A and B are shown apart, each in its own frame.
Chain A
């Protein structure tokens, strides 16, 4: 039987209250949202907080808002909400693609985008998605709010820039005209972590050439985007040859470990193949949405 070590539990009633509680209870307090990463770690005694601050009552952080050229996602937005949003599907199909394969439908009822990003698991899909979309993390603390690029937010496996007395409150995703995106994952079974996954975002100019591109990989030892791909693709009209070259560069850029999910050469093969597929899908979707606008 897996039972967490003893702790004290308190429910936050607002963001300010959560920050005050974090401040009061100090280094041995942890925030719990959906709980589907933290509670398993506590059950295995890999995490032993003295205080658990439950932020599930912070409905003020559960929202999806289109604000000008930005999609604002509250940190307590559940995976299910993201998956079922038509706006998300239309603007950022990469999020819908990823949400469809994050954990399972029941876990998605509880898990939140904020929790996923703060857990920063190396196999976490939304970290890759947010890197690819050049999202900005809004973090609030006693000194006010700060905006962090994903490169600044995501420090490495299980590590983010969110300080002990701060809370991730929002994720802002820039909306770009002529842009689309895609995500694809290989997993052993529903609910398992990725063997490998890839995400891509592409912007096409009016002539159909790639004006902006980002490719990210999940679970293969690369925290940041595959920057090598940009130099090769920007300014070019999408072709199968270019996707092949991008796939090759992705397989070289990653640094996977051999584990029970597969050997290194298999994971590099997946980085290659999945990069091609997501670029192909993102370009196809971007072209399709451009033609819709023209009509």
Chain B
């Protein structure tokens, strides 16, 4: 069947089998491998993408069901060379070690902050409660999201530039 959707702001049209899951469509057909494929049972949340701005587990959504919708993957978070504050926050606060859960965590964080710009730590924990981290630990992930909340859009570039300058200096 024919499907058409917006991925990270770009229109894509493909011919697919109806049984193709959104996670495989994104990874295998579009070669956007930032979206990870984990438990395959909607438990771990590493496959989370935003569908019309709302986090969904892409292992449990058919690509066909996303036809006509707008999808954001981790590749769509940064604006050019400017990191999203959430990405910057994960750098600043050591929100990742192995990075496997990170794309899903960051997209859920983005959706949370869009909905609730100043979440309490408990609200952050609730928002990511459908996602599993098995190495970094949740404390630094929560701190990373808090960092992003304290540095909303527009300040990330400054932070990134400062770091770059620091490296060059």
Contact = CB atoms under 8 A, between A and B. Distances in A.
Interface stretch (B17-25, B93-101, B142-150, B156-164): B17-25
Interface string A49-60: 000101010000
B137 to A, nearest CB: 16
B48 interface: yes
Contact of B62 (A35, A109, A190): A35
A221 interface: no
A3 B127 contact: no
B40 A104 contact: no
Contact of A191 (B64, B127, B130): B130
Contacts, number: 76
Nearest to B37: A1
A109 B56 CA distance: 7
B54 interface: yes
A40 B42 contact: yes
20 contacts: A1-B40, A2-B40, A3-B19, A3-B24, A4-B19, A5-B19, A6-B17, A6-B19, A9-B1, A43-B41, A56-B65, A105-B127, A105-B129, A106-B48, A106-B56, A106-B57, A107-B42, A109-B54, A110-B60, A110-B61
Interface of B: 1, 17-19, 21, 24, 40-43, 45, 48, 54-57, 60-62, 64-65, 67, 108, 126-127, 129-131
Shortest Cβ-Cβ A-B pairs, 4 listed: A104-B130, A9-B18, A106-B130, A190-B129
Interface of A: 1-9, 11, 32, 35-36, 39-40, 42-43, 52, 54, 56, 103-107, 109-110, 190-191
